Structure 1
Amino acid sequence: MSSLSLAPERRNALPLAMPHAPAGPLPAHRLSVVVPMFNELANAAPLIDAVQAALAAYPQPWELVVVDDGSTDGTGAALQRHAARVGPHVRIVRLARNFRQTAAMQAGIDAARGDVIVTMDGDLQNDPRDIPALVARLLADDLDLVAGWRRQRQDGFVLRRLPSLLANRLIRRVSGLAFQDLGCSLKAFRAPVLRQVRLYGEMHRFIPAWLATVTSPERMAEVPVRHHARQQGQSKYGLSRSFRVVVDLLAVHYFLRFGTRPGHFFGGIGLVAMTLGGLMLAYLGVLKLLGESVGTRPLLALGFFSVMGGLQFLTTGVLAELLMRVYYDGGHARPYHARPVVEPAAGEGWHG
């Protein structure tokens, strides 16, 4: 059972928006909608109203967690005023300064109390009316992630759609995930699975890739969702994020392939460098024995530094392996992730 699940009487005691009418035979769950916002004063109240209208008849308890990422235009105060009018199921988390979208999203995930967590942008380009469909697919098909696909994206081609198209192709190639739109913030997760990863830097774009380190890609799906053109406020995205995507992608590639075996990564580079350097020095050694002068040849310096660099990579791999073992042996985490096991009743499960 999830550590977030509560007895029915305790679940109903939480200040979550309660259903007005059943909408379908969904399993019992609590839904948390997480929205990071930064300098979105014009969208603060409309966002809360849009989510409230979309989930007014939701058949399970739900809450809205809006994270003000250190806004300087009064967004945080506007969110708090409007949340007080709507109800206690709208919770506002205000960060001390602008920590950027990934940290704000992680703050919202940490504050969420639901068994299912849905993330979305705060610019009203994502449509809250798609939330029930994403959650239904997640629970009906027993998935860990259902991501939105902005099939008919309402953004400019040069500044938004073209960089996103190139980034999606690159991410798909590196991560092996067959998602069409990895940049869409509208996603539904099982909370226990999502909480097994931590988001840093600009890694909110790679959440499916990070989830692939703790669950199978077969437990992920993508469904088309609505997308609207921005009506108010100013976009926080630009071409500069494309460069950050490439840098972050290198980190994703490393952790996906070598997160639990760093010695193979550094050791492989070290062995190649030492082998090449050794061949260079052996060649020069033969020439020296034949009477040629090799002291001023650039190949001597290249071979020497290749051997020394390879040795450094090998020792770095050994140190990385030691740190990894200390990390896992210290109880901080496990090198694997397993789904909950249904324990047999007393007296069962034994042979003989």
Structure 2
Amino acid sequence: MMKETTRVHSQELSDLLLDLYSACHELAMSAFLPHALSSIKRRLPFDSAWWAMTTLVDDQYKFHASYVEGLPQNMHLLWLSIQQDDVVGKAFVANPDQTLNFTPDQVDSTKGSRWLARTTGFRHVLCTVNVKLMIAQRHFLALSRHDDRHAFSESERCFKELLMPHLNSMLDINRMTELRRLHAQGSEQRQPMAVVDRLGAIHHAEAAFMEQIKRQWPRWWGPRVPAPVLDLLLKGETSHAAPNIMVQWFWVGDLAVMELSPRSPQDALSRRELEVAKCFAGGASYKEVAQSLGLAPATVRHHLRVIYGKLEISDKAALVRKCNSDGGAAL
């Protein structure tokens, strides 16, 4: 009987994963998590659910995303108000990547947990937290039942524990697929990418993105983007020129796709220097460049001296080659 039960649960998990992996590529970000929870609920019944993504900054939890079903929309604020006295939260933080099964007696064992349970209605809780070590980020999903008589079984606990790593991977795939689709520009060249929020916290990052960021800022460990990038992001800028890479981002709602590309020497030129370089490399004389841009010939000569120094060249022929090379496409 036990082997038969295990076989049934394995088949249910396999069917669920096939459904969700397909959906994460096809559905919009706003639709995928509700679809996933609905699919899970058919196989693992629950009354309410809370999914969230957090980071721990200066011993304080910051919520970067929170989604609830059957619970108050301000669930994260309610939890923050009693976090120091929450038996559930302390237990799952201390046991990453494990699914813990909390009974009503455990939920009611502290004043804070008891108050939260009475406020929101949950009695039995299956909770799992998964940690992304590279960016010091925690994803958790709590499923709860609101009737003392309807406990979660051990097989249901195991089912959820096996599911969670896949679900987190699907959420990453879904975000990146949707944002790439929205940002499609017809370019065949793919740059390393990451998804960040308005606080600079990294939600998902490709391996190549993390490798390049670590090379540029060896002492950086997350969970937010490196300080020079974060400073400009918070100011509303959309790019940062680091010594070896260009970091650019665009917004889709409250999330941004961040892309990395190698820096070319032309990135060091100011807008006016780019205009002077383009005109001069196009065949214009000093005077013609000056007339075209409304500058004095002496100013044009000064700009060209600066341009030659930044590009590490010494004559017009080299400037023409720079402008006609792949790396000089911006000119």
Q: Scaled by the length of structure 2, what TM-score is found?
A: 0.29
Higher relative contact order structure (alpha carbons within 8 Å, sequence separation ≥ 6): 1
Larger Rg: 2
